[in-house]
Structures are given as C-alpha cells and as structure tokens.
A and B are shown apart, each in its own frame.
Chain A
Amino acid sequence: MAKYPQLDDCQGVWKIKDVGDAVKLGRWRRAGSRAVVSGTVTIDYITMSSQGNGTDFGDVSSDISGRVGLGSHTRGFFAGGNGQIDVIEFITFVTTGDVTDFGNLAAGVNLPSGLSNATRGIVGGGRAPSMTNVIGYVTMSTAGNASDFGDLTVARASMPGLANTTRGFFAGGFTPSEQNVIDFITIATTGNAQDFGDMFESQYTSGPACSSTRGLTMGCLNTSITGTCDKITFASTGKSIRFGDLSTIHMGTGGASNSVKGFQLGGQQANGDATNIIDSMVIAHGGTSLDFGDLTVAVGGKTAASSGEHGGLTDGY
C-alpha cells in the first residue's frame, strides 16, 4: 500500500489515483473516523479526531463481557466472550445500529486477544475454559467462520493484540500466572507465533493502541491494578519500555487508536468499580493520558473496542 501524506505527515509525493483508490476503498483516513467500544450490551462510539463524550451506536447481541474487538477500515468486530462464546459479529463504522452476525470462532473463548490488518482479523488465545494457544483468522470483508492460523508460544488469555500492516503482536497475558512474553505473527501468512521479546514487567488485561511503528499497552493488572502504559517498537525485538500512565488508575480498558492517538475506553478502577472514562495519549509522545470525555455507560475490566484507523491499517500514514 502506498504511503499517503496526511494532516500530521505531509512529507512525500503521492499519486492522485492512489488517493482516489484509497478514498473509494474506504482506507483514506477520515476526519470523522470512529472507535467503538462494548463492555456490556451497549456499543458506544467516539469520533477520534474530536474530543468529546461517547455516543450510543447500537447493541451487541448479548449482555456479556470478555469479548475482543478488532477492525478493518470499514467494519468493527466483536468476538468471543464470557461463557466461552464463539460468536463473531460486526458493525459498520459509518452507520450506527446493532451488530450483524459474521460467523463463529473454532471454539468458544473468553478474554481472547485480537488484532488485524486491512484484510485479516486475528483472534488468539483466551479461556476455553482452560487457557488456549489457538490462533484463528477471518477475512473481514467476507462473512464466515474462523480458520486455523497456528499456535501462540504460550497458552494464555487477557493479552492486548497489537499490529502494523505486516505483523501482529500478543503482549503479556495470564496463564494463570502473569506473563511478560511478547509473541508475533506475520498476518498475511499462517503459522505458529514466535517469541519477539519481553514486556517491561509481567502483566495482563491492558488495553491496546498502535500506530504503524509502535504499540502501546495501557493500564494493566500486575499483582494490583495499575495505570501504567508500556511501548513496543515493532521494528526491533527486545523489551517493552515504560512509556506513561493513564489519567487515573484503572485497567481492562477497551483499547482503540488511529495512527496518532491511542484511546482507552472504560475499564475497572482500583476499587473494583467500572468507569466511563475515556483517556487519550499521543502514541509518539507517551506521558500521562489526557481526559477525552465520558462513555454513555460505565463498562468494566473486560471491555472490547476497535477502530477503522489503527496501525494495522495505516501503513505509515
């Protein structure tokens, strides 16, 4: 995919035809691009370029937590869930409304991880009810059941999924002991995951955000609930580094991003209560997250989110 100059990246030369194709195919970054989040039955959305509160988008098919979210340029997906649910369902970002059934995972899983590029959606790990190492994938433009992709190096759940257009990463997790492992896969192929490096510290249940070059894990559970954020640089193997903090101490957020900002939607506070906080962080800068707005409802620590502009889709623009 060509690299297209954007408002925050105006270097280079591009072909008008490429821009036209990008617009027609729905992969041109849009000022109104949305992130969606669901922790219960309600789906909220935010417009990522405009600070403000969440707005009701529609409903998922059942009132459960523990799903994972992932997104193409046009569709947002929710998969799995508490009770070992195998359902995959989707929304179309530009059109509010309830979910549509897409297909099924190979087996029901709670708290799986998810990531995507523009073509494939990947769901890995989770509790089935034992920890599973299974990675499955769907072609997001075509409804159907998930196919086998390969295995994680470590069977685990509750790990954020990160991606650029080429590689997908599974960071940390719960086995049921906290893990520091980072696995990676090549999204366009199939095969087993491979060790990439280690997290700054063992952790799980943080929310993901990614640009084309960096992945953030934001707000984790590491013995206790923390608001810490770590950074992985996709081009180099090695340890993640501590990169910032959420605006308040909470974890299990729904993580979404465009290629500039990461958003953490809802989550569980240190006292156990669900929150409706929306945080944002500039992925290139780190530091302390800024308050972006509030969701219409508080959602707990097993929340799923997705967007149509994340690092798995944007190839550097």
Chain B
Amino acid sequence: MANKIIKYNLTAEGTIPTYIEDGGYFLKANSNASPQDNDMIGATVDGSSETGLGALTNAAAIKNYLDTYTSEWTDGVDENGDDIAFNQTNAANMIWAKKV
C-alpha cells in the first residue's frame, strides 16, 4: 500500500476531505469562495487513489511548487530580531517524509 502527497481544497462544507490523513500545510490562496479559497498540501490515507488538485511526486516537485508562492514568506525572527527566511527545501522534505 502507499499514500500520495497531493494538493487539495477543503470540501464545500469546510471539512477536511476524508481521503486526507495529514494535511493543511503551506496554504496558497486561490480565487475560490471560502471555505475552498486555499490550496493545501497533504498526505492521503494509505491506499487512497485520490489526487485532489494534483499529486506531488517527490520532494523536488514539492519544493518547486513551494517556490512559486513562498518567496516572501518569513519563518519567525532570530535572537537578534531579524526575519528568518522560509526554507522551502526543509519544508518540502518535511512534507515528503509523510509519504509511506
């Protein structure tokens, strides 16, 4: 068995799709009405064939996708109060680690 790392939306009722095991990561705003106004990344349940808005088939594909909308993200501040840049590679690896 295996799962997939996919892009997806919440259902029209605002619930997490039943095929998502672990999701809600790294939202990208879209033009849909709430509650489907963000594309999210998540891992499907083991054995699911759902691909949502599209499968991300490896860590590099996740990073490439994150690179398209996260260039201005910051990830908190350091001990000097300076912004810490969002690390797309680390984020992609964290997500890909949810692949079984």
What are the interface flags for A163-195 relative to B under an 8 Å C-beta threshold, 1 for contact and 0 otherwise?
000000000000111010100000000001111
State the CA gap A66–B27 with chains docked (Å).
23
Give A196's nearest chain B residue, CB to CB. Answer: B14
Known A130-B94, A133-B23, A175-B27; contact A154-B38, beta-carbon cutoff 8 A: yes
Known A195-B34, A197-B34; contact A153-B25, beta-carbon cutoff 8 A: no
Structural contact, A198 and B25, CB atoms closer than 8 A: no
Give chain B residues whose Cβ lies under 8 Å from the Cβ of A130: 91, 94
Known A192-B15, A192-B16; contact A176-B25, beta-carbon cutoff 8 A: no
Structural contact, B24 and A155, CB atoms closer than 8 A: yes
Structural contact, A131 and B25, CB atoms closer than 8 A: yes
A151 within 8 A of B: yes
CB interface residues, B 51-79, toward A, < 8 Å: 70, 73-76
B59 CB to nearest A CB, Å: 14
State the CA gap A156–B27 with chains docked (Å).
10
A32 within 8 A of B: no
Structural contact, A175 and B34, CB atoms closer than 8 A: no
A297 within 8 A of B: no
Interface Cβ pair total, 8 Å cutoff = 56
A79 within 8 A of B: no
Q: How many residues of A contact B (CB 8 A)?
A: 22
State the CA gap A62–B34 with chains docked (Å).
41
State the CA gap A193–B86 with chains docked (Å).
26
CB interface residues, A 126-146, toward B, < 8 Å: 130-131, 133
A152 within 8 A of B: yes
Structural contact, B24 and A195, CB atoms closer than 8 A: no
Q: How many residues of B contact A (CB 8 A)?
A: 24
Structural contact, B34 and A153, CB atoms closer than 8 A: no
A272 within 8 A of B: yes
Which residue from B15, B24, B73, B75 sits with its C-beta under 8 Å from A154? B24
Structural contact, B16 and A153, CB atoms closer than 8 A: yes
Known A130-B91, A198-B34; contact A177-B27, beta-carbon cutoff 8 A: yes
What are the interface flags for A181-218 relative to B under an 8 Å C-beta threshold, 1 for contact and 0 otherwise?
10000000000111111100000000000000000000
What are the interface flags for B84-100 relative to A under an 8 Å C-beta threshold, 1 for contact and 0 otherwise?
00100001001000000
28 A-B pairs with C-beta separation under 8 A: A151-B22, A151-B24, A152-B24, A153-B14, A153-B15, A153-B35, A154-B27, A154-B38, A154-B40, A155-B24, A155-B25, A175-B27, A176-B74, A177-B70, A179-B27, A181-B35, A192-B15, A192-B16, A193-B16, A194-B13, A194-B14, A194-B15, A194-B16, A195-B14, A195-B34, A196-B14, A197-B34, A272-B81
Seen from chain B, the residues whose Cβ lies within 8 Å of a Cβ on chain A are 10, 13-16, 22-27, 34-35, 38, 40, 70, 73-76, 81, 86, 91, 94
Q: Known pairs A194-B14, A195-B35; list 5 more (Cβ under 8 Å).
A: A154-B24, A155-B24, A175-B26, A195-B14, A198-B34
